[in-house]
Amino acid sequence: MSKQIAVIGLGQFGSQVAISLTQKGFEVIGIDEEDEIVAELKDLVSAVVALDATDEKAMRAVNVDNVDMALVAIGTNVQSSLLTVALLQKLGIEEIYVRSINSLQEGILHSMGIEHIVNIEEEMGKQLSSAMSSGRVGRYIQISERHSLTEVNVPKTFVNKSLKELKFRTKYNVNIVGIKRHVPHVDDEGEVRYDVEMMDTPDPNYPLEMTDMLVLLGTDENIHKFVRIGDSDD
């Protein structure tokens, strides 16, 4: 029998984890207070319910006390997150993962005996700084709390393949809004120089070249996932 996992807080992070775990064959129960969010995920997660995760009676009613592990992915409402963790401990859930958004919350979680603390912003920052220092990422512009416009070198495995063939939006959940091309020319002294040209409306049939740089638009999470594709080139 597959493990039963509760994912509490179905924002971008929580919903992605719940969907991914469901796809991997786990029995997932997703919990959020918002009826609209629950309705959106009902066909993507094993089970989703709208309830207050700090309500012990409601949590027992959906058998959260029987799950093997739980993820508390609640974002900005620290009080609700901590109360939910305390309730899960009362229900006897031993393996609890918690999203933390600041050092104070992290300290409290440590004092509660929580070992699995996830800081999404910190992890993404580490991944991005690593990618930028490796030269795979060029300009990086934050355009909202969770969306960015980013320049990324073409992964080797994408060379000579077209945008249409690669299906960026479907496979990677990012949009290609431009391609920077390095076009060679010979200067007056006979030296080969490269001019940078921007394709702001990329031809879907254009075969990508090794020296191209993709201009991506998407959520930070999906862009970071895409950047990691280049890691396999090393």
Specify the amino acid at residue 39. A
The pLDDT of residue 125 is 56
Q: What would the two tokens of residue 126 be? A: 């580490």
The pLDDT of residue 8 is 96
Q: What percentage of the chain's residues is helix, strand, coil (to nearest 5)? A: 40, 30, 30
- CA distances 226 to 11, 12, 165, 171, 197, Å, are 21, 17, 16, 10, 23
Domains and CATH numbers, the chain: 4-118 (3.40.50.720), 122-231 (3.30.70.1450)
Mean pLDDT per segment of 10 residues, for the chain of length 234 residues?
88 86 90 93 93 96 95 91 96 93 89 88 56 54 71 87 89 88 71 75 88 85 78 51
Looking at the whole model, is its pTM more than 0.85?
Answer: no
The per-residue b/e assignment along 173-208, b for 16 or more CB within 10 angstroms, e otherwise, is ebebebbbbeeeeeeeeeeeeeeeeeeeebeeeeeb
Nearest-angstrom CA–CA distance, 70 and 6: 5
CA neighbor of 178 nearest in space, from 158, 150, 148: 150
